[in-house]
Amino acid sequence: MSVTIYDLAREAGVGIGTVSRCLNNHPSVSAETRAKVLEVIKRLSYQPHASAQRLASKKTNTISAIIPFFTNYFFIQVLQGVQDKAAEFGFDLILYGVNNTSQAEYYLRRSLHRGHVDGVMFFSMKLPESYVQKFQQIRLPLVLVDAYHPEFDSISVKNLEGATMATRHLLKLGHTNIAMINASLATQPARDRMEGYRIALEEADVPFRNDRVFISEIGKQDGFNREAGRASMEDLIGKNSGKDRVTAVFIASDVQSMGALEGAAELGVRVPEDLAIVSFDDIELAQHAQLTTMRQPMYEMGVLALEKLTTRMKNPDAPPSQTTFLPSLVVRRSCGARVPSEQLV
């Protein structure tokens, strides 16, 4: 059938052990023998059998990434970082896109199959407690991205602090009637971002008002989507009249902002003249839409995630490491701050 190391060994007049050592660049092969074997490998255009290598070596050089709604721009950009770094290390990356918790668990289980992958990256979801033990038991490296658990390596962004910075920026621009458009409070980021918003307000002695938080959970991703952003904005605008009109809004994500911008345009509300906007993420589109936003270092997070995974593989017993990034304010047009145009990014 196809060429195996036995064929190579016979053809080169050496033992299979020697052939294997040649393939794996083991040092204890004489230059002469190595040359001979390499010649035969080339001549028979030998291809090692991946499954056999994996079975024998107990390494797969494969990792899996379990990502909710991976078509979301945020994940795409993180994924780009993961992908680039994986290529550099020679890992295959299995992409598991999931739409709900039960799918996520399915792929966690699948990743736990022995001999399937050497590591797992779990994105933006709460790790079910029942898997904590399993991962520890199998000692399968796991990195949480945009999530946290004390027992595992994790990478996340300071949502609360970021939201505070965003809101402070609006306060500094003179706004006091500041609303928030949020996603489902079932998600940690939404809770943290709201808390940050509240803190900034209270720092400035502006009372937090529940009726100024607009949440829509329509569509996918717990409301982190365009339709929900649009719905919330329409809701906001519909109720926005009277003396203490809202003049600014902090939106929990850029994706929602895209929808919110549509809604505002539709209803004739000008941004930033009538309504200033600051949002969160800095996806690629934010630049196009000229959104002032809190930048998350998405690509860098992806790179770091892969690095953490490889570090963990080499050193399974190191204590879990947690890295948090502080998002940074990127000022563009939507907040109404005057920016010299050459500073616009």
Tell me, rounded to whole angstroms, the distance of Cα 20 from its chain centroid.
39
One of 17, 35, 95, 128 touching its own copies (CB under 8 A): 95
Listed ranges 8-16, 24-32, 94-102, 315-323: which one lies at the site for its own copies (CB under 8 A): 94-102
2 interacts with its own copies by CB under 8 A:
yes
Footprint of DNA (CB under 7 A): 1-2, 4-6, 9, 13-18, 20-21, 23-24, 27-30, 32-34, 46, 48-49, 52-53, 55-57, 114-115
| Residue 288 contact partner, candidates DNA, its own copies, none, CB within 5 to 8 A by sort of partner | its own copies
If the CB atoms of residues 36 and 193 are measured against DNA, the closer one turns out to be 36
DSSP 210: G
188 binds, among its own copies, DNA, none (CB under 5 to 8 A by kind): none
- Cβ 121 to its own copies shortest distance, Å: 13
Q: How far is the C-alpha of 116 from the C-alpha of 273, rounded, in Å? A: 55
Q: Residue 147 CB: number of other CB atoms within 10 A?
A: 18
Indicate which of DNA, its own copies, none lies near residue 61 (CB less than 5 to 8 Å, by partner kind): none
Nearer to its own copies, 23 or 171 (CB): 23
Q: Which residue has the tokens 């595992």?
A: 152
Residues 259-278 that bind its own copies (CB under 8 A): 261-262
The C-alpha atoms of residue 129 and residue 118 are separated, in whole angstroms, by 21
Collapsed DSSP state (helix, strand, coil) of residue 159: helix
Runs of H (alpha helix) within the chain: 5-12, 16-23, 31-43, 50-57, 73-89, 101-112, 129-138, 159-172, 188-203, 226-239, 254-266, 284-288, 298-314
CA distance 119 to 223: 30
Determine, following the binding rule CB under 8 A, whether residue 97 of this chain makes contact with its own copies. yes
Phi, psi of 73 (to 5 degrees): -60, -35
The SS3 call for residue 294 is strand
Residue partners of 149: CB distance under 8 A and separation at least 6: 127, 132
Work out how close the CB of 38 gets to DNA at its nearest, in angstroms, rounded to a whole number.
Answer: 12
114 touches its own copies (CB under 8 A): yes
Lookup: tokens for 81: 């970082």
Nearest CA-CA partner of 124 in 77, 183, 189, 192 = 189
The two tokens of residue 10 are 């016979």
CB atoms < 10 A from the CB of 303, how many? 21
Considering only residues 281 to 320 of the shown chain, the ones binding its own copies according to CB under 8 A are: 285, 288
- Among its own copies, DNA, none, partner that 163 touches (CB below 5 to 8 angstroms by kind): none
27 binds, among its own copies, DNA, none (CB under 5 to 8 A by kind): DNA
Pairing of strands 276-281, 322-325: unpaired
Q: For residue 66, which amino acid is it?
A: I
For the chain, what percentages of helix, strand and coil (3-state, to nearest 5) are there? Answer: 50, 15, 35
Q: Counting contacts by CB under 8 A, is residue 83 touching its own copies?
A: yes
Piece of the chain touching its own copies by CB under 8 A; list 53-61, 193-201, 311-319, 323-331: 53-61
CB under 5 to 8 A by kind: which of its own copies, DNA, none does 169 bind? Answer: none
Nearer to its own copies, 192 or 254 (CB): 254
Residue 49 near its own copies by CB under 8 A: yes
Q: Do the beta carbons of residue 264 and residue 271 sit within 8 Å?
A: yes
Cα separation, 256 vs 183, whole angstroms = 9
Give the contact letters, 210-229, x = binds to its own copies (CB under 8 A), - = no.
----------------x---
Site size toward its own copies (CB under 8 A) is 39
Binding site for its own copies (CB under 8 A): 2, 47-52, 54-55, 60, 62, 64, 70-71, 76-77, 79-80, 83-84, 87, 92-97, 103, 112-116, 226, 258, 261-262, 285, 288
